[in-house]
Amino acid sequence: MEKKLAEFRARRRRAEKSKMSEADLQSRQQSADVHDEQPQKTDDTTAHHNQEDVTGVEDRPPNMSGSPAVVMRLVASAYKVAEKAGSIVRKVLHSGELGVVEKTGANDLQTLADRLAQKSICASLSRHFPNITIIGEEDLPAEKVEEDLIEKGQEEEILQKSCPEEFQDLKEEELVVWVDPLDGTKEYTEGLLDNVTVLIGIAYGGRAIAGVINQPFYNYQLGPGATLGRTLWAVLGLGAFGFQLQELPGDRRIVTTTRSHSNKVVIECIHAMEPHKVIRVGGAGNKIIHLIEGRASAYVFASAGCKKWDTCAPEAILHAVGGKLTDMYGNAYCYHADVKHMNSAGVLATLRNHEYYVSRVPPSVLQALKSD
């Protein structure tokens, strides 16, 4: 207390010299007292937090600058919107009325969950950020969206984090949001629920800078009573959160690839990687999760079946922890609003040793693919 009084008197003398008002001085002292009384985080709390979060960079202090940057508000909204979309996906499945239609064939399906989830995501983000560009997978008619599909919340934890300096001044109209409302639709209809994700990717200047992945059925194998779902998110330069980063030993080559869109070129490319094991699963988001959780070392898909809404969010999360996603030539994909949607030259993603996998792609495979 004596120390505080001494500090107070010193501040008062300085205030009198600068003709500071008594009211202002008292306000500053009250603010200082409140700050001194704030509890400090314990080591136990920090350890628990780090078990769930993967920063990939040095920890940043919480946001103290007032209103959060546009990109942080957008990510905070996308987090809640993805959670709501995940809830919609679960509800449609539990209803038993999937409303399946074929888009281009039996391996390219759309369900009621796809349609409702996209309506919810696009309408919710547009309401809060009217000047952003949103590109969704499903080609839906323009129509009024029911109010119960609108998500108004934002994830407070994200709003409290400091925005990386290079993104602090971005405007809404500079951002492009790529949406896959239900990645792994075929697997969803077949009951392979751990393959299913909701993807919301955010791009600036053609680069994927932030992403949100919701897994609606995470933990579903635990049976009745299990808490379903989790959400992963990342911002480049800030880190990635919501999972525990794990890596395979450097000498292990486990390749994950498509389970329903394979062909001769895809198989040839996988064999060229000389993998110890091949894991065939659905969903681009699911495959990237295999990489960051140590279940696979490379995602190899030497085909033109993947699109920008499949890769934008997963790429941002992978890059935030030091990984890389490119085409089969090793070239980065661009996410400008006016780019073609197809990833024509395939997808090659790794957590580490990307150059090795690029070097193993056969010339015959590259000749079969068109580089963007």
Q: Which residue numbers belong to the known binding site? A: 137, 180, 182-183, 310
Q: How confident is the model at residue 42 (pLDDT cuts 50, 70, 90)?
A: very low
Task: Compute φ and ψ for 71, nearest 5 degrees.
Answer: -65, -35
Encode pLDDT of 297-344 as tens digits: 999 999 988 999 999 999 999 999 999 999 999 999 999 999 999 999
Q: How confident is the model at residue 140 (pLDDT cuts 50, 70, 90)?
A: confident
Tokens 């074929």 label which residue? 102
What is the reported pLDDT for 251?
87
- Would the pLDDT of 25 be above 70? no
Least confident window among 14-23, 224-233, 286-295: 14-23
Annotated domain spans of the chain: 70-241, 254-368
CB contact burial 124-144 (16+ within 10 A = b; e otherwise): bbeebbeebbbbbbbeeeeee
What is the reported pLDDT for 27?
40
What is the reported pLDDT for 47?
29
Using alpha carbons, list the distances in angstroms from residue 127 to 119, 121, 147.
12, 10, 11
- Among 3.90.226.10, 2.40.10.10, 3.40.190.80, 3.30.565.10, what is the CATH number of 254-368? 3.40.190.80
Q: Name the average pLDDT for the chain.
A: 85
pTM of the model: 0.82
- Would the pLDDT of 64 be above 90? no
Token output for 165: 């300096």
CATH code for the structural domain at 70-241: 3.30.540.10
Q: Which residue numbers belong to the known binding site for Mg(2+)? A: 137, 180, 182-183, 310
Handedness of CA 25, 31, 34, 39 (dihedral sign): negative
Q: How confident is the model at residue 137 (pLDDT cuts 50, 70, 90)?
A: confident
- When pLDDT is averaged across residues 172-197 and rounded to a whole number, the result is 96
Least confident window among 126-135, 253-262, 347-356: 253-262
Instruction: Provide DSSP, 335-352.
Output: --TTS-SB-TT-EEEESS
Q: How confident is the model at residue 63 (pLDDT cuts 50, 70, 90)?
A: low
Q: Which residues contact 197 (CB under 8 A, 6 or more apart)?
A: 180, 183, 184, 213, 214, 215, 216, 283, 285, 286, 289
Active site residues: 114, 185
